[in-house]
Amino acid sequence: MRSFPTSSPENALLAAILSELMWRRVPARAELGRIAGLSETEAGERLKALERMGAVVVDLAGNLLAAYPLSAVPTLHVVDLGGAAPWANCAIDALAVPAMAGRPGTIRSRCAHCDAGVTVDVEGPRITGARPETAVVAYGGLAHCIDRPSLEGRCPYINFFCDLAHARAWKRPGGWQGRLLSLAEAVELALERFDPIIEIFRHSPVAPQA
Ligand SMILES: [Zn+2]
């Protein structure tokens, strides 16, 4: 994300979109004004501003694909919040979702090397469990996957792995540059990166808790 929204109508729209994506509901363009308490014209303008900031991704037809950290299309990273179970764009995005929702969550993802399940329990800034316990995150490429191929559902840059050996054996996308993080390091990075979005979401009058 290049920057984050500062004006309150943009915050309201972003929070409203995120609260819909929490429940895997993808608001149509025509609904944005109603859910954010804005006129349709203003909602359209604010959506464009959010897009320019890199806070949301919209396809050529105007359909919402993502509002970071959440995805509007199925991905490898599901964050089970004990009710809501949104899709996250990548491993780092997934780790920020429980703090944003204000409740514990369990991330269900897959090792990008061997496709085995990787499950991570997160409570705010703390990792409270992981299966396998050796799981790590490869973090690199584009910080927020903003140029990921639309609808691919697999961010090629930021993934979970069973362990260091699988992260090192991973066939990386061409040009990938990055580093391997422990889960504790990864959740710390996630909360640092998403702090502005977490604040916007948690303090918005229109965003119900997940
Ligand atoms: Zn693996």
Q: List, for the chain, all residue ranges whose pLDDT scores fall below the cut of 70.
A: 1-7, 141-156, 205-210
Q: What is the largest CA-CA distance in the chain?
A: 52
Q: What distance in angstroms lies between residue 113's CA and the mean position of ligand 1's atoms?
A: 5
Q: What distance in angstroms lies between residue 112's CA and the mean position of ligand 1's atoms?
A: 7
Please report the pLDDT score of residue 152 as a whole number. 44
Residue pLDDT, tens place only, 64-104: 999 999 999 999 999 999 999 999 999 999 999 999 999 99
Please report the pLDDT score of residue 61 as a whole number. 83
The CATH number covering residue 162 comes to 3.30.450.410
Please tell me whether residues 176 and 113 are part of one structural domain.
yes
Please report the pLDDT score of residue 113 as a whole number. 95
Q: What distance in angstroms lies between residue 97's CA and the mean position of ligand 1's atoms?
A: 23
Q: What distance in angstroms lies between residue 136's CA and the mean position of ligand 1's atoms?
A: 10
Please report the pLDDT score of residue 157 as a whole number. 79
Distances (CA, A) of 181 to 92, 119, 159, 161, 186: 10, 16, 10, 10, 6
Please tell me whether residues 29 and 46 are part of one structural domain.
yes
Please report the pLDDT score of residue 143 as a whole number. 44
Q: What distance in angstroms lies between residue 146's CA and the mean position of ligand 1's atoms?
A: 25
Q: Say what the ipTM of the complex is.
A: 0.99
Task: Evaluate whether residue 210 is within a structural domain.
Answer: no
Please report the pLDDT score of residue 82 as a whole number. 95
Please tell me whether residues 188 and 122 are part of one structural domain.
yes
Task: Evaluate whether residue 208 is within a structural domain.
Answer: no
Task: Evaluate whether residue 40 is within a structural domain.
Answer: yes
Q: What distance in angstroms lies between residue 170's CA and the mean position of ligand 1's atoms?
A: 9
Q: Which domain holds residue 42?
A: 8-71+196-202
Contact between residue 43 and residue 49 where contact means Cβ atoms under 8 Å apart: no
Task: Evaluate whether residue 184 is within a structural domain.
Answer: yes
89-108 burial by CB neighbour count: b if 16+ within 10 A, else e?
Answer: bbbbbbbbbbbbbebebbbb
Contact between residue 149 and residue 173 where contact means Cβ atoms under 8 Å apart: no
Please report the pLDDT score of residue 187 as a whole number. 98
Q: How many other CB atoms are there within 10 angstroms of residue 66's CB atom?
A: 25
Q: What distance in angstroms lies between residue 163's CA and the mean position of ligand 1's atoms?
A: 7
Task: Evaluate whether residue 1 is within a structural domain.
Answer: no
Total tally of structural domains belonging to the chain: 2
